Copies of this chain bind each other. A is one copy, B any other.
């Protein structure tokens, strides 16, 4: 049998008999000629149907039916890729496909988001939907290769855990052999523990938040890109790694998913060699003055403040990225390292992209005694953290890290209004299937 070629490889086979395989993406039944547009994993191919008997067969071949096509490749400047297949013979590999709830062959899917999500197995086949997840795979590959090059080791830590990581709220309970278990809200404790082993670690995996708010930004399960590194002077060493990782993720989009970028008409933003930075205290002062608000007692930035800062960074530095550092300790988790010279602030940061928070990170406490004090100050018992605390009792270097929400990164990049648009099978307050 003739070896299968992909749609994008056709141009290299002009004059040859080829075999294509894929889905009937579209039928175009014109007066004098008909076309079968075939979709495979690489793109689209045009198959010319001239004989009346074949046309009758084509009319009975619903879109999305899987077919294998054998024919001769010829050049045609009007066809996609400049080539088409003529004198074609085809055979279905599936039953005739059922009618889809929307027209997959249109350049844009016109259905509502709930309909697209309800029928995700079909909707994801649309080239524009598919392109988003090609970008996703490329971004994750860029995350890994950037960290591999910096001497990081990948780890896999458990997702069923004995206690809540971040706070007792928003945690899913699991019936664990008759005991109470929880789904990990982050790999935070484990990645710190693994700094004691490998110094530099990363993990790509699911995290779970029983988020009771029904918003365009929240998911009950998402992919967290986590990194943690030891032997840092402070959070600036962590920020330098994050800068290289984000640049590596964006470069990977071009390297590994150029066609998807083109289809979605996206150009990855430039990451400056040094991302500008503003301290939280200066940020609230500037934003307060500009917006005529008294923010002197605010422990965090509101979305409109982040937007203002995003515009300010573009204006002042020509940068779409901005680090805000030094968030007040009272809004950060107990393992956060304070800013040594202003202990009401922390050695933490957010990375804003186009005025929206993209990444959170910072330096962590590393001395056992500091952990005991931090837990005591919050009225928490050290017993609940015994394994975690063992890590610090056994000697830990100054360290820090960050977590990038993959879906949030994709939403920012593609301009998606709802994070569900960039999630294969989203989980939220209402949605547990498909």
Chain A residues with a Cβ under 8 A of chain B: 4, 21, 23-24, 40-41, 64-66, 93-95, 97-98, 100, 119-122, 124-125, 130, 133-134, 136-137, 140-141, 144, 148, 151, 153-163, 172-177, 179, 181, 183, 190, 193-194, 196-200, 205-206, 208, 210, 212, 220-221, 223, 231, 366-369, 387-388, 390-398, 406, 424-425, 427, 429, 432-434
Q: In the complex, what residues of B have CB within 8 A of residue A368's CB?
A: 95, 98
Q: In the complex, what residues of B have CB within 8 A of residue A41's CB?
A: 151, 153, 198-200
Instruction: State whether A434 and B154 are in contact (beta carbons under 8 Å apart), knowing that A41-B198, A93-B397, A395-B64 are contacts in the complex.
Output: no
A154 to chain B: closest CB distance in Å?
Answer: 4
A61 to chain B: closest CB distance in Å?
Answer: 10
Q: In the complex, A122 Cα to B148 Cα: how many Å?
A: 24
Contact between chains at A137 and B153 (CB < 8 Å): yes
Q: In the complex, what residues of B have CB within 8 A of residue A388's CB?
A: 121, 434
Contact between chains at A367 and B94 (CB < 8 Å): yes
Q: In the complex, what residues of B have CB within 8 A of residue A433's CB?
A: 161-163, 387
Instruction: State whether A179 and B432 are in contact (beta carbons under 8 Å apart), knowing that A97-B395, A133-B155 are contacts in the complex.
Output: yes
A95 to chain B: closest CB distance in Å?
Answer: 5
Q: In the complex, what residues of B have CB within 8 A of residue A179's CB?
A: 432
Nearest chain B residue, comparing its CB with the CB of A208: B160
A185 to chain B: closest CB distance in Å?
Answer: 13
Not counting A100-B394, A133-B155, A193-B434, a sample of 11 additional A-B residue pairs whose C-beta atoms are within 8 angstroms of each other reads A65-B395, A93-B231, A119-B390, A122-B390, A133-B197, A136-B156, A141-B148, A159-B221, A173-B174, A174-B174, A177-B212
Contact between chains at A130 and B197 (CB < 8 Å): yes
